Amino acid sequence: MKIEILTLFPELVEQVVRFGIPRKAVEAGVLTLSARDIRDYSPDRDRRIDDRPYGGGPGMVMEAEPLSQAIDAAKAAIGPATVIALSPQGEPLTQDWVRRLAREPGLILLCGRYEGPDERVMEAVDVELSLGDFVLSGGELPAMALVDAVSRWLPGALGHEQSAPNDSFAAGLLDHPHYTRPEHWRGAAVPEVLLSGDHAKVARWRLKQALGATWLKRPDLLAGLELNEEQTRLLREFIAEASVNGGT
């Protein structure tokens, strides 16, 4: 996978491959990432790439020409690629999107600043993606989040863990709780089943907790799932225990 990030802050977004899974992906040779400074494509001596909005109003708009040239240069550098604009107007980024994008040979990530790009650049954009309904000051952090999420799906990037296909989001559920030593901490004990050594029992408990957490915290996720017989039974048990414990 080859990724080009088009940004006014190239030294910021380059940091994403210095840590964690994206770094491992680069070291494993399955990811190359480079950041391209949109200002390098300004025709002006002062490297300006923004101008005032037609129709008036506050803020500045990113000019079409430098953006378009940056996109062309990125395409020339990495070959076939999906052009993605990180934008508050975009479709919400989901794990489905992440998995789909991880199979592409190349991604060009366009990071907006100010009020965003001149609308005419959108012709060259395949998809607009958003991180959610909150206001950031630019597309750089969402682009870095996308690189991180996609890296997890590149073969060899996770090393021995191989947990991407296993993580709870793959099943559409929230994660189960986790515990580590000590067994007793400030009066709170680790659930006994986790000390039992009975792997099947532990797996059942974890599935039940994942179902319960999703039911409590993200009922919208649960509504989109078809639970099998065992899952239905485990969730019923969780709900019954939650109401006994005064949880509902």
Classified as helix, coil or strand, 116 is coil
Q: Is 117 in the site for ligand 9D3 (CB under 6 A)?
A: no
Nearer to ligand 9D3, 140 or 158 (CB): 140
Q: Is 115 in the site for ligand 9D3 (CB under 6 A)?
A: yes
Among 116, 118, 208, 235, binds ligand 9D3 (CB under 6 A): 116
Residues recorded for the chain: 248
Q: Is 66 in the site for ligand 9D3 (CB under 6 A)?
A: no
What the block records as the tokens of 207 is 């599935």
Taking CB under 6 A as the criterion, which residues in 130-159 touch ligand 9D3? 130-132, 134-139, 142
Tell me the C-alpha distance between 48 and 185, whole Å. 57
In the complex, minimum distance from the CB of residue 139 to ligand 9D3, in angstroms, rounded to a whole number: 4
Q: Is 172 in the site for ligand 9D3 (CB under 6 A)?
A: no
Report the b/e string of 94-109 with b at 16+ CB within 10 A: eeebbbebbebebbbb
Instruction: Specify whether 40 is catalytic.
Output: no
Among 7, 42, 87, 209, binds ligand 9D3 (CB under 6 A): 87
In the complex, minimum distance from the CB of residue 5 to ligand 9D3, in angstroms, rounded to a whole number: 13
The catalytic position among 51, 167, 183, 241 is 167
Spatial contact of 154 and 40, defined as CB atoms under 8 Å apart: no
Report the b/e string of 63-91 with b at 16+ CB within 10 A: bbebbbebbebbbeebeebebbbbbbebe
In the complex, minimum distance from the CB of residue 3 to ligand 9D3, in angstroms, rounded to a whole number: 16
Q: Is 84 in the site for ligand 9D3 (CB under 6 A)?
A: no
Count the Cβ atoms, other than its own, within 10 Å of residue 30. Answer: 15
Residues lying near ligand 9D3 in the complex (CB under 6 A) are found at: 86-88, 112, 115-116, 130-132, 134-139, 142
